[in-house]
Amino acid sequence: MQPFKYLTEQLAVAGQLQPEDMQRAHAAGFKTIINNRPDAEEAGQPTNQAIEQAAAQLGLDYYFMPVLASQLTDDNIAEFTKLAPQIESPVLMFCRTGTRCTYLWALAEAANQDVQWLVEQAQQAGYDLSGIAARMEQRRQK
């Protein structure tokens, strides 16, 4: 069972979730689930469709926004940035370990947030943003 790690009061990330985890997410008060993990990335991984069906049965909003682990693109960031204001909070994002989700969130937020604050929020949740620090600073300066 993957823990929910809060980056903010309204946003948490997790490693790979199973369809049955949607009940736990619902009970924790999440309104929206975002899956950042491509299907068939790893043997035995549940399909996006199975997780989406479980979420829908509980009335959770669900979005599939696959991000390749080593190739988080500007298009991924733009897609998330466009979606974020439209979704109902609190939000739970997941991928294999939660790192991709954290990176996506931090890069999207870097344009409007203090980078050090983003780093601290991620650290409190157990994620290290040092690998994308320069990219966050670039987005901050745009």
- At residue 141, the pLDDT reads 80
Q: Which residues of the chain have pLDDT under 50?
A: none
Q: Which two tokens stand for residue 81?
A: 């940035």
Domain architecture of the chain: domains with CATH: 5-141 (3.90.190.10)
Amino acid at 71: Q
- At residue 50, the pLDDT reads 98
Q: Give pLDDT tens digits for 32-61.
A: 999 999 999 999 999 999 999 999 999 999
DSSP 8-class letter at 33: E
- At residue 33, the pLDDT reads 98
pTM for the complete prediction?
0.96
- At residue 1, the pLDDT reads 76
User: What is each CA distance from 85 to 89, 120, 134, in whole angstroms?
Assistant: 10, 23, 25
- At residue 65, the pLDDT reads 97
Strands 11-14 and 5-8: antiparallel
